[in-house]
Amino acid sequence: MTLILCDVGPRDGLQNETEALKPAVRAELVNRLAAAGLPRVEAVSFVRADRVPQMAGAEEVVAGIHSRDGTEYSGLVLNEQGYERFAAAGLDRLNATLGATEEFNQRNGNASLAEAAERVERILAGAAEPVTVTISVAFGCPFEGRVDPARVAELATRFDGAEVVLADTIGVAVPREVRALVERTKAAGFHGHNTRNTGYANALAALEGGAQVLDASVGGLGGCPYAPRASGNVATEDLVYLLEHEGIETGVDLDALIRISEWLEAVLGRRLEGQVYRAGSFPIE
């Protein structure tokens, strides 16, 4: 199995921080993650600065990236305007996202579910770059509760040709549900939050279900501005530790990830959610 780990810390991680970091600092984070051997880094989102001020200056961040062979750099968009900015910036991979429920789409993208799906289809039709489609709140929504797996499966079939990632945006899923929905949708990837301490088990379940892409965030940074009480993503270094000890090669330098989290702790001035950067690694026998 070829596993792709995508670190979403520079985007999904930092967008939930109270303090907005300068573009140069965000670009440095991207560069440090690439140097640690991450095969994919989600660098920015092209959204309105008045809606998500932590993501302002996306083009400046991209300008500060030192492209590394072996790392794919992605950017997130919600609509056609975002795609225009993405295309001009010149990143490698597009991440178009929508929610699985009406209310989440209204709160996150000012659109109905039908409108959001149609927007993604239009973006897919015109995109020259490889595309990931992330279906947010695929397992549970902060506004509508449990999500019918049939609805998610129907959505996934609409994005033929794209890499579909299922997101447990508020961290309510358990491994049985993740494995079943990945199998049912044939989704390529899983994006998990560790809100209820199920994120790491869910990541393994996604792999068992056939996923080949796992999102994680350095230090366990993250959340969602439009999802109340959604805490951080699974920590990239914690996930790498788990996978490597399970015999699944990641190609990522765990010690380098630990150093990045230590640096981020100083930058943000607080302890991060991850465990491994504080506990340290342990030799694989």
Tens of pLDDT, residue by residue over 180-214, are 999 999 999 999 999 999 999 999 999 999 999 99
Percent of the chain with pLDDT over 90: 92
Give the containing element (helix H, strand E) for 200.
Answer: helix 199-209
What pLDDT shows up at residue 224? 67
Backbone angles phi, psi at 177, to 5 degrees: -70, -40
Q: Is the pLDDT of residue 229 over 90?
A: no
Mean pLDDT (the chain) is 95
Higher pLDDT, 158 or 225: 158
What pLDDT shows up at residue 2? 86
What pLDDT shows up at residue 223? 72
**For the range 17-23, what are the long-range contacts, defined as Cβ-Cβ under 8 Å and sequence gap of 24 or more?**
17/54, 17/221, 17/268, 19/268, 20/53, 20/54, 20/56, 21/54, 21/267, 22/57, 23/56, 23/57, 23/58, 23/60, 23/61, 23/64
Model pLDDT for residues 143-170, shown as the tens digit of each residue: 999 999 999 999 999 999 999 999 999 9
Model pLDDT for residues 71-126, shown as the tens digit of each residue: 999 999 999 999 999 999 999 999 999 999 999 999 988 999 999 999 999 999 99
Decide if 224 is catalytic: yes
What pLDDT shows up at residue 282? 93
What pLDDT shows up at residue 167? 98
Q: Is the pLDDT of residue 65 over 90?
A: yes
pLDDT band of 175, cuts 50, 70, 90: very high
Domain 4-279 CATH (choose: 2.40.480.10, 3.90.700.10, 3.20.20.70, 2.40.30.10)? 3.20.20.70
Pairing between strand 145-146 and 140-141? antiparallel
Q: What angle do CA 212, 215, 216 make, to 5 degrees?
A: 135
Q: What is the per-residue burial (b if ≥16 Cβ within 10 Å, else e) of 172-194?
A: bbebebbbebbeebebbbbbbbb
What pLDDT shows up at residue 228? 64
What pLDDT shows up at residue 265? 97
Say whether 202 sits in a helix, a strand or coil. Answer: helix
Residue 37 in contact with residue 73, Cβ under 8 Å?
Answer: no
DSSP conformation class of 250 = -
Q: What is the per-residue burial (b if ≥16 Cβ within 10 Å, else e) of 6-20?
A: bbbbbbbbbbbeeeb
**Identity of residue 264:** L
Model pLDDT for residues 253-273, shown as the tens digit of each residue: 999 999 999 999 999 999 999
Across 33-43, average pLDDT: 98
Q: Is the pLDDT of residue 230 over 70?
A: no
Across 9-14, average pLDDT: 96
Beta strands in 144-269 (DSSP E): 145-146, 163-168, 189-192, 213-216
From 152, 166, 224, 230, active-site residue = 224
Across 53-66, average pLDDT: 97
Beta strands in the chain (DSSP E): 4-7, 40-45, 72-77, 93-99, 131-136, 140-141, 145-146, 163-168, 189-192, 213-216
Token digits for 202? 């869910």
Token digits for 264? 């981020």
Higher pLDDT, 59 or 51: 59
Give the separation between CA 210 and CA 61, rounded to whole angstroms: 33
Q: 95 forms bridges with which residues in the sheet?
A: 76, 132
What pLDDT shows up at residue 192? 96
Residue 193 in contact with residue 234, Cβ under 8 Å?
Answer: yes
